[in-house]
Structure formats: structure tokens, C-alpha cells
Structure 1
Amino acid sequence: MEDEPPPQGVSAKALEATLLSALKMLDVGKWPIFSLCSPEEIKLIRQACVFGSAGNEVLYATENDEVFVLGMNCSGCLGTGDMQSTIEPRRLDSLCGKKIACLSYGSGPHVVLATEEGEVYTWGHNAYSQLGNGTTNHGFIPCQVSTNLVNKKVIEVACGSHHSMVLTSDGEVYTWGYNNSGQVGSGSTANQPIPRRVTGCLQNKIVVNIACGQMCSMAVVENGEVYVWGYNGNGQLGLGSSGNQPTPCRIAALQGIRVQRVACGYAHTLVLTDEGQIYAWGANSYGQLGTGNKSNQSYPTTVIVDKDRVVEIAACHSAHTSAAKTQSGQVYMWGQCRGQSVTFPHLTHFACTDDVFACFATPAVMWRLLSVEPDDHLTVAQSLKKEFDNPETADLKFLVDGKYIHVHKVLLKIRCEHFRSVLNNDDEIIEMSEFSYPVYRAFLEYLYTDNIRLPPEDAIGLLDLATLYRENRLKKLCQQTIKQGICEENAIALLSAAVKYEAQQVVA
């Protein structure tokens, strides 16, 4: 059956470009700040969070559980002990080996991090006590927050602009920091310098998920009810009013609907139900509610995302952007996208919601701590390299100095003119006595890898082989190896070889 033609009005090149851009979205390199890292450094990253007023700070953890930071370092938010910006990754020794479980950040910025052990660390801007250490002094290094959290295991963290919230494994919520609108849920508007448990309506409830808008807070309890508190000037609490709420209050309009997750934008809110539906409310000047208009909503409103079941929602308190992923893997975005207002969920070519924030949010920050799966896909070159001297797949053996080297006839014929003319299909073992085992092995490995690995003294023998087989590129590599390895002890022997093989690069 023939392939279906591209849809009318869409060129094959445009489709190809879309596919390629989707493929490129698989690593952290889509965030501009990672252009400061080398490809080798990026390959080692397993967790990352880009934050800051312009997406100009990042913390990342490597496959070895080392933690590094990079960027502007506003208010000491990199945790390096100073306020110096850096374009070179700097290691945070105090967090290495801690195994990060979750991370969030505020607008100051300040950072709140929880480890897999459930410990909480904070640092950065602290003018409103958002670090939870009882002071208003900026924190230049990560410090553990222990007040009222001793013997508690924190499993989730969230930050508003200048307040912080954590969820413990036993379903309790603790808050601290800026409280001008009641966002810490204490019943007053006084800033809270240390973590205190949020009680009131949550006193006997088990909370399973938390989120913060700029100046509001949300909690989902195990029966699917949603409780909200804090600033409500845009209706972001979903209570049908615009008055602030200093203590947790249940959203009555969601009665009978079981909510699983909540996500907060700058001043809007999204929830995901157990049936895979989205409800949204709050500010809508950029269409971030996905309702098709730009009118604020103070009650939960259904968001239509095709007919597919939604499995993930995404928003970030520093942006006016919304995103969702469906069960079939389709990713939608709406709200402020590259400065434009998208008022309906728009189907993208992305593979995950994180890509929406990398490419379209302002600023280009992460909405969560991003986990990067190691790329197990091997390129053609990597696959060939892996198969060198593999007896399980080889169909030919060279016997040199009593040792076997396992290779593949077809590759040798493709890569070397000499073998194309001398190899026969019925060859199984070929004895080689003209060259030593290290030299011949290095030659065969070169055919698989395009590189040579052997000491300069053996490179003389390989140069002899390259000359005999008329492998000019290999000759040049041998000459470079010999030249780089010249020292007092071997200078005469190596230079003699250079003269013998007319190796201009060596004697130059």
C-alpha cells in the first residue's frame, strides 16, 4: 500500500521539519541556558530545573548524583555561597549524593528542595522569610529546614512568588513566608518566618497534592476535594468571588467531582479529575483558561481538549501558559505562547508538556523538576563500535600471534578496498603473520571506529600496514600518533620510521 500523501496545503518539507523538531525535544538542550554546557556535560544530566526571571538560572543533578548550578545567581539563588554569576557549572557539594526528589522556586528567586529521604533544603531570596529559617537574611548556601519538620518526611514542595509550602508523607501541609493576602493559610496576614502546619478545614484531612500561584495556595485531599486560600483578585480560588481567603476553603462548585491534581499559573488554576477532564478558573487575559475567550472566571469551567482523556496538566506560577497531555500522548498548549494569546487548547508536535514551557512560555522556565531518561538509542557509528570483536555476531576470525579477533566480512569489504578484493564468502579463519597482534587489532578496530588506540611505537607497524593497504587516512592518523608520542627515549626510532614512510607530518 502506498504512503498517504501529505494533507493538502502542507508540504513534505514542512512535515519533515515538524518531525525533526519533535525529535530534537528529547533533551534539556531546548532551554537556552544549557547552551553554556558542553555536549558531554548535557549527556550526564538526569534531573534539571531552569528558573529565574528570564530563565537564566539552572540547577541540575547528574547520573552520579552530583549537583551543579549555572547562571545569574540573583539573590544568591544558586547556593554557591556568594552572588557571583557563572557561565561554568559549579558543584554544590552540600547536595551531592542527596538524591533530589522534588524542587520548586519563587520569584525572588528562592529555592525549596526535598530529598528522597524527605529532608527540606532552602536558599536564595529571603526578604519575606520564605526560606523558613526564622530570619529575613538571604541564604547563600542550601540549609536544611528543620523547625516543625523533624521526623516528618516531605514528599512534595511548592513555591509562590515569596511563600513556600510542603506536603508530608502523612498528608500534612506546612507553609511559611510572605502572607500579605493570606497565602500561608494561618488566618492572619502576618508573614510566617518558620514552617507551621495549615489546619482549619484541613485539620483532619489527608492531602495528596499541593500547588501555589503567585500569592495563593491549593491542596487536593484524598477524597478528591480541593481546598484553596490566599489572594483571589482574579478569581483564582474558584470560589465565585474575588475576596482574599486567609484560611483553607473548599471549592463547593466541584462538589461530586473527584480531583486528582492541581496546577497553578501566575493567577489561574487548572485541575485534573479522575475521569481525565480539566477544569480551569482565574485570570484569563491571555486565554490561559482555554475557554475560547479572555474573560476571567471565578468558578471552575470545563476545558475541552479533543475527546481524549487527559493524564497530565501543567502550569507555572511565573507564567500565563497552560499545557496538557492526553492518554494517547498528544500535547496541547494555550494561554500566553511566545507573546501571543492562544484561547483554545492547541495541538502541538511536542512529546511532553515540558517542551511547551521550553519553547513557548515567558520566561522559558520549567514547571517542575525535569527527569531526563538516559538515551539508550545507539547511532550507526556507536552500534558498529559495539560490535567490534564480538564473537556472537561475527562471521570471520583473524588468528594473529595465537589470538583471535572477531570481525564481520561485509563491514570489512565496505570499509577497506584491500578486503574487498581478497575476502571470500567461505572464509571463516584467516591467519595473519605479517603484523603483530596489537597492530592488526588496532587496524581492524579502526575500520569499526575511525580511530586508533595504540602507543606510538606500535603506530610505526600500523603505518607500515596502512602503506601496504593504501589506507591514506590511516597513515595520517599514525603520523599524528607518532608525532605526539616523540620523547628522548624513542625519538631516533620514530624519526627513522618517519623518514622510511615519508611521513611529512612527523618530521615537520
Structure 2
Amino acid sequence: MAQQVFAWGYNNCGQVGSGSTANQPTPRKVTNCLHIKRVVSIACGQTSSMAVLDNGEVYGWGYNGNGQLGLGNNGNQLTPVRVAALHSVCVNQIVCGYAHTLALTDEGLLYAWGANTYGQLGTGNKNNLLSPAHIMVEKERVVEIAACHSAHTSAAKTQGGHVYMWGQCRGQSVTLPHLTHFSSTDDVFACFATPAVTWRLLSVEHEDFLTVAESLKKEFDSPETADLKFRIDGKYIHVHKAVLKIRCEHFRSMFQSYWNEDMKEVIEIDQFSYPVYRAFLQYLYTDAVDLPPEDAIGLLDLATSYCENRLKKLCQHIIKRGITVENAFSLFSAAVRYDAESLNEWAFGSLKFCVYVHFLEVKNHIIRL
């Protein structure tokens, strides 16, 4: 049974395929050379129409001022005409942009023709084509093509899942297929086409998307983006003044225009060790501290000096978790020195417990002797 084409509507250029330019208010069968033939796919440009038959033949009719019918000329056609230039290939998909056409063969080859003002044909230039031309997409087999009648943008998806776009892109012209991070050709038109078009929910996030917190963490100690370096024990730590000023009152005061530090690109630090100061700066980027209890004592000293109360609490928590018989006395001394009340009480209790445990160990050792 033949699969027939019906058309209706505005017909100023013969896009209805009725043999005239009279508007067609109701559906009318497109006959002539499509009569009794099996049509498997149709596509419409702004004022042109295309059809693909089950044997891979392609027909076009309507406006052809830019060569979008692929007939080798730019004369309008009031009835369907076969695209003879594609006689040696079998086309299984066809799509139309505003005034250009793309065709995909059963072998995964892409052809394009018609208007090329924005590079929408993907030929590397902006010259219109009156006949189909083979378009290379990184030597990959193309499995899907897309265009939109309201846009001058083209898209294709390869067998490897890569999505390419070319043509009009937010006011720019992309004349060769350009690899995107999308997984669907639909997203190309939602993001790049003018006007933007989509028929489903759009996701613009991709695998490399980072949150603000993740981005800050990633840029800590990054020479590429930093505008300031701290030098401690001969080692450098790369940071960003803006982040430090936002996160720490000490640095907000330091980087005033009338302070010498505001003009420096390298600031020397000699009152704290490299691991401690690095942990402090990293805390400003991540809100987290990763230090052993012994180094946390030095960070507690820094937090006290810089009036970083939340950091003091984090240090106290680290120290509490790390108290042992060997370090109990030094940690208790640190608690007293830095006026850490909660840590003071905890350390004192732990110190007594550790002393008691140590006493039992000594006692048992003496008994064994």
C-alpha cells in the first residue's frame, strides 16, 4: 500500500505541491510523480517541501531561490521533482532548515545543500549550494541529523554518541561541524538556534559541571588563576585576594589600599609552619580541615591569632579525637595556652585517664617482673 503525502496551507511558492500557487485551505494529496509511490519521510523548510521514498529517492518542491531543493538550479517547483544528484545513494532521513536541506544516507553519509549565509551547510565557507555536497563529520558514521525550519542551524549525532552543530550560533557563524557537550541534537536548537527551540525539558549540565563550592576547592593553590602567593618555609601557596577578603576578616583588613600587603604579589609568613598555613588557607576555600592533632595545635594558634572562632572549634574537635597517652600532656598544654575552654576540660579529663592507664601499665609491668 502506498504511503501518500497530503499538504495544505499557504502556497505562495508552490510548497503545497498542487501545481499552482493558490493557497490550499484543506488537505490535498500531492500527486504527480509521487503518485502510487511509497513515501517514508517528509520535511518542510520555510517555503519548501522535501520527501524521501522507501527506495531512498528524494523529491523536492516549492521555493528554490537558494537551491534548497537540490536540483542544480534556483527555480521554484510547483510539483515534486526528484533530486537527481542523489541517484547513487540511498537516503533514509531528510531535514530542512529555514532555507537549507540535510540528507542522511543508509551508510551514515551526510549531504547538504541550499542557503549557507551562516555556514549552515558545514562546508567551511558561506557559499550557497544548488546541489547536494558530502559533509564530513570527523570521519564518524552519522546516525541522526536535525534542522529547524525557523533557524539557520544544523546538527548531527554520530554512532559514537557525539553531537555536532554548525551554522548560526547566537549571532556567530560556525562554518564547520563543531563538537558539543550535548547528548541530544534537540539541545543544540534549545541553546544555539535563533530563536531557541525545544520540545522537551532541556539539560545544559554536563559531566564537567562544578558547583560554586567545588569550583572554589578546585582553584585553591592554582597558579593559573591566582593573583597572590604566600611564601612559607620556602614554599609557595597560590590564592585569590577576593576569596580571602570574603572569607576572613583578617585578610579583609590586610588588603586595604593603605596597607603595604595590598600591593604585594608575594607575602612572607614566618610565624606559622607551611602545613599549618596551607591548611588554614585551604579551609577558607573548602570549610574543612584535614590535619593530624599535633598540627591542629598550630592551626589552633593561628585561628586564635586571626580571631577565627569557627576554625578554633574545628581544631578542638580534631584534637579531641586524637588524644593519646603519648600526646595528652602536650594537647592539654595547648588547650590552656589558647584558652580553649571546652578542649581544656576534655583534655584535662583525658589527661587524667591517660595517666591512670599509664599507671596501670607500669604497675602490671612491675608485677610481671
Question: Shorter chain as normaliser: what TM range?
Answer: 0.5 to 0.7
Code of the aligned partner of 1:310: V
Distance between the aligned counterparts of 2:131 and 2:201, measured in 1?
34
**Structure 1 unaligned regions, length at least 5:** 1-168, 374-508
Deviations 1:320-341 (A, max 9, x none): 0000000110000000011100
Displacement over 3 Å in runs of 4+: 369-373
CA–CA separation in structure 2 for the residues paired with 1:252 and 1:184: 21
- Secondary structure at the counterpart of residue 194 of structure 2: coil
Shift of 1:248: 0.3
Q: Report the equivalent of 2:94.
A: 262
CA 1:371–1:246 in 2, change beyond 3 Å: closer, same or farther?
Answer: farther
Report the CA distance between 1:307 and its aligned residue.
1.3
Q: Kindly state the Cα deviation for residue 256 of structure 1 after the two structures are TM-superposed.
A: 1.6
User: Does 1:245 find its partner at 2:77?
Assistant: yes
- The CA deviation string for residues 262-298 of structure 1, in whole angstroms up to 9 with x for no partner, is 0000000000000001000000000000000000000
Structure 1 match to 2:115 = 283
> Is 1:345 paired with 2:177?
yes
CA offset at residue 170 of structure 1? 4.8
Rounded to whole Å, the distance in 2 between the matches of 1:316 and 1:251 is: 21
The one-letter amino acid of 2:157's match is K
Write the distance in 1 (CA, Å) between the matches of 2:182 and 2:116.
Answer: 24
Does structure 1 residue 311 correspond to structure 2 residue 139?
no
Aligned match for 2:195, one of 356, 363, 371: 363
Show the counterpart of 1:231.
63
2:133 aligns with one of 278, 301, 307: 301
1:372 deviation in Å?
9.0
User: What's the CA shift for 1:358?
Assistant: 1.0
Per-residue CA deviations over 1:379-409 (Å, capped at 9, x if unaligned) read xxxxxxxxxxxxxxxxxxxxxxxxxxxxxxx
How many pairs does the alignment contain?
A: 203
Separation in structure 1 between the aligned mates of residue 156 and residue 7 of structure 2, nearest angstrom: 28
Q: Provide the rounded CA distance (Å) in 1 between the counterparts of 2:202 and 2:190.
A: 14
Give the deviation of 1:199 after TM superposition.
Answer: 0.4
The structure with more strand, counted as a fraction of residues = 1
Partner of 2:50: 218
Residue identity matched to 1:219: A
Percent of pairs identical after alignment? 72
Q: Which amino acid aligns with 1:311?
A: V
Q: In the TM superposition, what whole-angstrom CA distance separates every residue of 1:474-496 from its partner, at most 9, and x where no partner exists? A: xxxxxxxxxxxxxxxxxxxxxxx
Q: Which has the larger radius of gyration?
A: 2
Task: Give the TM-score normalised by the residue count of structure 2.
Answer: 0.54
| Bigger proportion of residues as helix | 2
Q: Which of the residues 190, 193, 200 maps onto 2:22?
A: 190
Q: Of residues 137, 151, 160 in structure 2, which corresponds to 1:328?
A: 160
Conservation of the 8 A alpha-carbon contact between 2:169 and 2:192: yes
**C-alpha separation in 1, matches of 2:201 and 2:160:** 21
The equivalent position to 1:206 in structure 2, one of 38, 42, 56, is 38
Offset of residue 260 of structure 1: 0.4
TM-score of the superposition, structure 1-length normalised?
A: 0.39
